[in-house]
Structure formats: structure tokens, C-alpha cells
Structure 1
Amino acid sequence: MSAAEPTVIPLWPEGVPNLRADATDEKTTDNRTSNIHHPSLTVYPAPADKANGTAVIVCPGGGYMRLAMDKEGVEYAQWLNTRGITAFVLKYRMVEYGQPAPLQDALRSIRLIRSRAAEFGVKPDRIGIMGSSAGGHLSSSAATLFEAPEGKTGNALDSVSARPDFAILCYPVITMTEPNTHAGSRKALLGENPTPELIARWSTENQVTAATPPTFLFHTTEDGAVPVENALAFYAALKRNKVPAELHVFEKGGHGVGMRAGNGPTSDWPVLLEAWLRLHGWITP
């Protein structure tokens, strides 16, 4: 995988688990992709002269209804490439399936990359996951439920560890509980009237353990779509379980700021992320 051009690989070449019989073609409007039935990974290899063996799976957001493939996918991947990191943008199943399909897709991506690490030019113990908004919920699910039975499908790859080595959560949806949940994400993921058990299960602040990997989070106080309490709850759970974690809360910036400029100090969050990645050795000199 030395070529600079991205490559698309199917996530389930043996067949998508529980593929809907009425599956139709996916749709892309204004760089937002929806109606996904055949998940895939788009591989953005790090430049050969910068590659450091680290990989990051990028999960775009979109309320489990659509994926912001450019702003929270390709742009992140290109930034990671300049830091020597090979990026994999994940196109995952959403509202058409609900849970556990998104979790299965995220964990399968980790298992697939880990099992083919040499092919991709990465190291099996340097695989992280990164997500924004609902993609942050999916990333936090992978970081906490990597051994969950819901994430397995009976394929031989289930035997490969699906634990990410680190997680990066950008203005993430975390809780499914009122009043701080993102109602659209919860409905798309769990249905109109989820049971208390489902709500508790997929509120990822409840699933943090000492085995959860080191995590970087950022959020904004002005976020009117996904309240900052989501990131605060996950950080508090990490702290209780003594998981290395770093949280940045910015005053300005609405939801979905991505890596775009023009949001004052909030736009500097990638600088802080790079410093954190260097602190843990995921980016090396």
C-alpha cells in the first residue's frame, strides 16, 4: 500500500451480516452519504517518507442518518496522513439497521486492519479510532464494547482483538439518556421507543472500564445539537476508571466544526490533538 491514491476495500467480502432483502443503492447529496448497505473502508496511506506505523479509523458523523464524508472523513484522513498516520475512512451502516450493525462494522474494521497490518504498512498495536458526533458515539462504543457479543458475527476474524489502542472523540454523542442525548441519533440507532435496558446499554459512559484505551476528547460549550455534557460524562467515567484521558472544552463553535478555520481558539484543537498523539508515541519524530 505505498501508493498515495486512496483505495476502497469492502468490509464484509463474505457477505454483509443481516443484509436487508430490500437494500437499494446508497445516496450521496452535498457530500453526505446515506442508505448504506455495503460498508467499506477507504484507505489513505501515509506518505512513505513519513509513515510511522500508526493507523486511525475515521468514523464520520451525521446522526446515524448520513455520513459527512468530506468534512469529518476525508479532511481528517488527509490531516492524519501529513502526520505519518495511515487513515481508514469507515462507511458504516446506520438507521436502516440500527444497533448492533454500526458496532459490528466498527469492530470488523479494527479486526480487518489488525489482521492485515503488514499489507497496510501499519503496526497491529498502533490502531486508533476517531469519530465526530454520531461517529464519536460509534468510536466510543468500539472503545468500550470491543468484546461485546453484539459486535461478533461468527466469522473467523472474531478471534482477532477488536480493542482500539486509542480513541479520539470530537463533539461526540455519548449518552442515550434525557435530557442530554441527541434525539435524532438515539431514534436512528435504537428506534422510536427504546427500552430502559437498550438506553443504558448504548449510553457509552456506562460501559467504560479500566480496559478502555487512552482517549482524547473535545467539545464546545456552544454546541446546541449535542450538549457538552456528553463529553463531560465520558471523561468523568474515564477518570473514575483511571484511563489516561485528555478533554478540551472550548467556549465558541457550534456543532460540526470539523477542522475548518474561523472558529477562534476552537480551530486549534488539531494542534492539541497532535501534541497528545506525540505524548503517547502515536506520532514519532
Structure 2
Amino acid sequence: MDRRALLASGLAIGIAGTARAQASAAPERVALWPGTPPGGEGLAVRDETVLRSPKGSPDDIAWPHVGTPAMTVARATRPSGAAVLLIPGGGYTRVAVGRGPSNVARNFAAQGITAFELLYRLPHDGWRAGPAAPVQDAQRAMRLIRAGAGKWELDPARVAAIGFSAGGHLVGQLGARADSATYAAIDAADRLPVRPLAIGMFFPVVSMLPPVAHGQSRRELLGPDPGDELARAWSLEHNVPATMPPTFLCHAADDKTVRAANSLAMFAALQAAGIPSELMIGEKGGHGPPLIGPDGKPHIWLELFAAFAARHGWQAAG
């Protein structure tokens, strides 16, 4: 598709506006589970944070241990009815998200899209579900978003999800395992569907199989020496169901942390399964390029995702 047409579509739905994104009201934090998360009985996992940079902002933190998975809500200033679950990365070693909404979340909120940033559990803390523990949190988050549709002024049918790096792997698992019961229902919210309207996988971890696999993510998710069967079961390119949501992928060709071969393999698998999908590979950018520029405008990848998701009903085009 012509790049100018995509940009125009992004402008039409309000993602690529020229105004600087404004912070929404004070953030709201929602615990995912009413008590101990699934498989946590007998564990003593405490929330722990570290600064990502010694001289960085006090809120530029990561969580190497998560005992209380939660969502931070950036409410839309003028709700359009659309919502997005944002899943940060961290190589499954930690979760790279602050206590308040990120610039990406605030930008979405300023454009009428309520954003929910996920703080999810990590397998290395000993949760009984092992690699499925983060999936449990992502599924529960989607259900709570839909259960709170009236409170947050959103349409439960118009909830998308975006994941970054290892969060891209988790959002892919959220789409691929949407029909899988990963935990026992605990309340009425768990009767609601999990499947996002569309997903965005940004510079994602996809495969758990060498030589494409990101070594750290594979080790943290599956252990130091997973067998081929286990690694294949958690490799998204080998597990794309017919019910996979429409999927947008983007990567930088010079990404030396998570190889672009991950996105290429995923796109090929999506196409083979007949899933509506789109792929953008940039020449430069490395791993995790800034998605909101100093002028407050979103990177073209966010614009392209918005245009893609709009075609599948996320936002009205115009």
C-alpha cells in the first residue's frame, strides 16, 4: 500500500495529529487478581524495581520481580471508544515499565484511545504455570478491560493490543492462545473473551528455536536447556491458529538484539495461515527505537499500526 495513503489514514483516525500529546488525568492502577495470582500459593514474591539508567528519570524503571501484576490506566481525554493494551518488554528478565503512563500511553490517551500498560509476572519467580504465567496476566488484563468498559467509556469490541520486544512475544501468545484456558475462572470477568481486535508486534521476540531465538528471552521463559518440543511449543511461527487476530509487525533490519528474522518468520507463518497481516522492516533503528519523538509526534510505526487496526474496526476512519 502507498505510504502516503497510510499516513493519511493515520491522520484521519487521530493518531498522527500535529499537537503535542498531553498527559491525561492522574493514572489509575488496577491489580489483576483479587488475591494471590494463580500458582502463587506458598511463594513470597515481592515487587522490586531498579533504575534502568543511574542518571535517568526516577520513573525510568524496570521490575526484575513482580508479585502484584497490574495495569496502569491512561484514560482518554475525549474517549472515542477504542482501547489498547500495551505490553512492555525486558527479555522476560524484567518488565521495563514505569509507575505512571509512558509517553506512548499518554499519546494514545490524548488521541481518544484509553491505554492500559501491563505489569506482568516473570517465570523465574517460580510461578507454577511457568512460561504461561505472563499469558495468564495478559488474558486477565484483556478481560478486566472489557469488564470495565462502562467505567472507562470504551467499546469492549474495540480493544487492540501492542507488545514490544519480549512483550511482542507475549502479545503474540495472547492472540495465539486466546481460546486456551490458562487459569481457573475466579469471577464474572473471566467469562469475557480474551482475543484482541488486532495486535501489533513491535521488534518482537517470536521464535524460541536457534538460530533465530533471542537467547535471554528463551532462557528466562523456558529454562537453560529446553528441549526442542518445549521450544517449538512457545515459538509463535509454529503455532498460528486460524483465529489469530489481524497482526501488524515491524522491525529494524539492523536490530542486533532481537534479529529481524523473528518478524520475517512470523509474517510468513501468518500469511500461510491466511491471517490478515502487515510487515514493515526499516533499514535503521536498532532495538527499541523511540516511538514518540521530541516534538510529541508518534513514530511512523505507530501511525502504520493505527491505520492497519482501523481497517479492522479499531477506529472509524474519518
TM-score, normalisation: structure 2: 0.81
Q: Which amino acid aligns with 1:22?
A: A
Distance 1:227-1:160 versus aligned 2 partners, 3 A rule: same
1:47–1:81 CA contact under 8 A, matched in 2? yes
1:32–1:68 CA contact under 8 A, matched in 2? yes
CA RMSD of aligned residues (A): 1.9
**Aligned with residue 120 of structure 1, among 129, 152, 169:** 152
Q: What residue is the counterpart of 1:58 in the other structure?
A: 86
Q: Which amino acid aligns with 2:43?
A: A
Q: What residue is the counterpart of 1:208 in the other structure?
A: 240
| Separation in 2, partners of 1:269, 1:182 | 22
Q: Does 1:187 align with 2:215?
A: no
Q: Does 1:4 align with 2:25?
A: yes
| Separation in 2, partners of 1:174, 1:123 | 30
**Aligned with residue 161 of structure 1, among 170, 189, 193:** 193
Q: Which amino acid aligns with 2:282?
A: F
**How far 1:68 sits from its partner (Å)?**
2.0
| Separation in 2, partners of 1:198, 1:83 | 41
Look up the SS of the partner of 1:209 in the other structure.
Answer: coil
| Separation in 1, partners of 2:68, 2:47 | 9
Detail structure 1 runs of 4+ shifted over 4 Å in the superposition.
none
1:131–1:169 CA contact under 8 A, matched in 2? yes
Q: What residue is the counterpart of 2:48 in the other structure?
A: 26
- Measured against aligned partners, the alpha-carbon deviations of 1:71-119 in whole angstroms (never above 9, x if no partner) come to xx71221121132110000000013244110000000101111122112
**Aligned with residue 36 of structure 2, among 10, 15, 23:** 15
Q: Which amino acid aligns with 1:205?
A: E
2:47–2:68 CA contact under 8 A, matched in 1? no
- Measured against aligned partners, the alpha-carbon deviations of 1:28-77 in whole angstroms (never above 9, x if no partner) come to 323222211110011111112xx21111110001101112215xx71221
**Aligned with residue 99 of structure 1, among 100, 124, 131:** 131
| Separation in 2, partners of 1:258, 1:108 | 28
- Measured against aligned partners, the alpha-carbon deviations of 1:113-157 in whole angstroms (never above 9, x if no partner) come to 1122112211111111111000000000001011223x2234244
| Separation in 2, partners of 1:249, 1:233 | 13
Q: Which amino acid aligns with 2:80?
A: N
Look up the SS of the partner of 2:257 in the other structure.
Answer: coil
1:152–1:158 CA contact under 8 A, matched in 2? no
| Separation in 2, partners of 1:182, 1:217 | 17
**How far 1:267 sits from its partner (Å)?**
4.4
Provide structure 1 residue ranges, at least 5 long, that are not aligned to the other structure: none
**Aligned with residue 70 of structure 2, among 19, 40, 48:** 40
Q: What residue is the counterpart of 1:280 in the other structure?
A: 312
Distance 1:122-1:251 versus aligned 2 partners, 3 A rule: same
| Separation in 2, partners of 1:152, 1:143 | 16
Q: Which moved more, 1:37-46 or 1:118-127?
A: 118-127
Q: How does 1:134-149 map to 2 (within 5 A)?
A: 134-149=166-181
Q: What residue is the counterpart of 2:285 in the other structure?
A: 253
| Separation in 2, partners of 1:130, 1:242 | 21
Percent identity over paired residues: 37
How many residues align? The count is: 275
TM-score, normalisation: structure 1: 0.90
| Separation in 1, partners of 2:299, 2:80 | 25
Q: What residue is the counterpart of 2:102 in the other structure?
A: 74
2:104–2:292 CA contact under 8 A, matched in 1? no
Provide structure 2 residue ranges, at least 5 long, that are not aligned to the other structure: 1-23, 53-60
| Separation in 2, partners of 1:173, 1:161 | 25
Look up the SS of the partner of 2:208 in the other structure.
Answer: coil
**How far 1:255 sits from its partner (Å)?**
0.7
1:6–1:45 CA contact under 8 A, matched in 2? yes
Q: Which moved more, 1:112-121 or 1:241-250?
A: 112-121
